[in-house]
Every structure is written in structure tokens, then in C-alpha cells.
Amino acid sequence: MRVVVTGASGFLGRLLVRELLRTRSFAAAPITRLVLVDRVARPDDPLVADPLVVEPLVQVVNGDMVDHLGEVFAEPVDVVFHLAAAVSAECEADFDLGMRVNVDATRALLQAARAQSVSGGPVARVVFTSSLAVYGPLPARGLPFPPMVSETTLPAPRSSYGTQKLMCEHLIADMTRRGFVDGRVARLMTVAVRPGRPNAAASGFVSAIIRDPLAGRPTVCPVAPDLKVALASPHSTTEAVLRIAEAGHGSGPGQVQGAMPVNVPALTVSVADMLATLRTVAGATTADLVTVAPDPAVEAVVGSWPAAFDNRRAADLGLMPDASFESVVREYLAEHPRR
């Protein structure tokens, strides 16, 4: 089985690759080739630095994905995890960037997979990571968020990023309907706590207000403390993407229906509760490194996302939200101890 991961050098990409290398299988079938695609080369990554891992299992493709689709599909592709994307705030700042990276590149990838299937090759399973940003309130039309958002809630994105993700969802659904690909869509929540440097996501502060104080660095929280967010830990998110990818087709428990999206199970927590948890886990001195200074631009984007989700479809796949935000913080600390 030949498996491709786009955005493989990103945070979630690296976690997914680690899990695929650990099991060396997908849906109980052995992986014979794992193709890692990303614009960013990470030669120091131990995942791809070990020659025993690189050959014959791992193939690294560095550069713009669209420019390398011929190389990626030079041999039959069975599964694609399409994680590569431009994130929320940078899509608002640069419309053309978001369209090029999120829409045009996804369409090119799907066209390559379609060409493979119509020429007699395998129908590739394309696993797309979408976002809760596809949702948004429409108060002017009398459509505020319901008390609990589910996959049956009308998507109404209020950002270019959410709109681009929804466009891709529809394209994948149509290509799945026509038998060109076997599409799977995982709608991700805000992933926290992320280590390392912040990215350009509008939700980046959710990790920063925990990660930076724990490292002794002051940070600014750009939203009001009463704002609620839907989040999932990195490990819960990775598990959900894999479970959605490997599920069989059908309408029963443990199955997915075509390319119908599945919302990754979410933990709902307010920013005030997050800061209170930080104080409980790390003490007042650490928690006081966070300064609240609302930024209307950030609040406009993040505040348009729902915070309370009906997790029943994910539960049918055996997936549950994280137990608590404290468990999320302690999981982060276990893997990234304070010095």
C-alpha cells in the first residue's frame, strides 16, 4: 500500500507520520511506501534521517505539491492524507494565497487522483482535513448557532479560510459520488496545546496562552475571557483523523457515509477556564504572564466559530472528546516538561 501525506512537515503532519511509521499499516494493510510531501524540508527530523527508515519505506518530496504531482502519482497511490493548507489569519490577509494553496492545490491533487482511477488504477482514498471554520452564524437571516452544532447544521463560513475549506469539501463529495476518489472529510477543531513557534492561525493564541507562560514567556491573549472555543488535543485529533480515514463505508456504528464530513469530537472551554487551569497546574506566577488585550480582528474570526458540538457521529466511530482541559495541559507538560 502506497500512502501519501501532504503537509508532512507541519505539526499535525509529523504526528500523523509518526503514527503511520509506528504501525506501518493502514486499515490492517501493510504500508509499502510512505510519501511525505511538503514545501519545507526538515533534514534534522529523526523520522526521515534514519536510513533504515528512509529506505525502502519513506520517500520525501520537497517543494510545491502541485509541481510534484507527477512524481507523487508516478506509482499507484492508495491513500492520501491531505493536510497541506494556508491557515485562517493568513487567508484573511491574502485572499489569493488562500485560494491558491487551499483550493487550487486541492483541485489539482483531486484531478491527479481522478486521472489515476479513470485510467484503470486504484480509486485513491483521499482524507481531507477541513475545519470548524466552515460554520458561522447568520443572525440577519434568523439562523444563529443552535445550542449544539452537528454535521447537519448548515455551514455558513464567515472567513475566507472557512469558505475555501467548504469549497473543497463539496468538490471531494462530488468526486466521491462519481467514483473518482474515495473521499473522507475530518472537520478539525482548534488543536491545543501546540508546541514550538506559533503559526498564522487566528486560533494560535489558544496554544500560546498555555505554551508560552509554561516556558516563562509573557504572552497576550487577544480575546475576551468569556469567549468559548471548541478544541481537541493533538493526540485526540490525530486519532480521529486516522479513525475517520480507516472506517468502512455504511450507515452503521463505526462506518462513514461517503464523503459526509465528521466533526472531530470537541471539548468546549472558555478562555477564562483555560487561564484558571493554567493557574491550577502551574501557579499564579506563571498564569500572570498572560495579559488580556482583545484584538477585534482576531475576535471577529474566532468568535464566528461554534464552540458547542454534538459529538454523536464521532462517538459512533469510537471517538470521544478529551476528558478535560486540565488533562490536555498535563498531556502537553508530560511531553514538553518545564525547564
Do 79 and 32 contact (CB within 8 A), yes or no?
no
Q: What is the CA radius of gyration of the chain?
A: 20
Do 253 and 192 contact (CB within 8 A), yes or no?
no
| Catalytic choice (161, 180, 205, 332) | 161
Task: State the virtual CA torsion across 166, 167, 173, 174 in degrees, nearest 10.
Answer: 160
Give the three-class secondary structure for 112.
helix
135: annotated active-site residue: no
Give the three-class secondary structure for 280.
helix
CA distance 187 to 128: 8
> In the numeric block, which cell numbers belong to residue 36?
511525505
Closest of 297, 321, 311 to residue 91, by C-alpha: 297
Closest of 261, 238, 242, 258 to residue 250, by C-alpha: 258
CA distance 106 to 110: 6
Give the three-class secondary structure for 111.
helix
CA 135, 309, 199, 58 torsion-angle sign:
negative
Q: Which residues pair with 185 in a beta bridge?
A: 128
Closest of 1, 83, 91 to residue 37, by C-alpha: 83
Catalytic (active-site) positions: 161
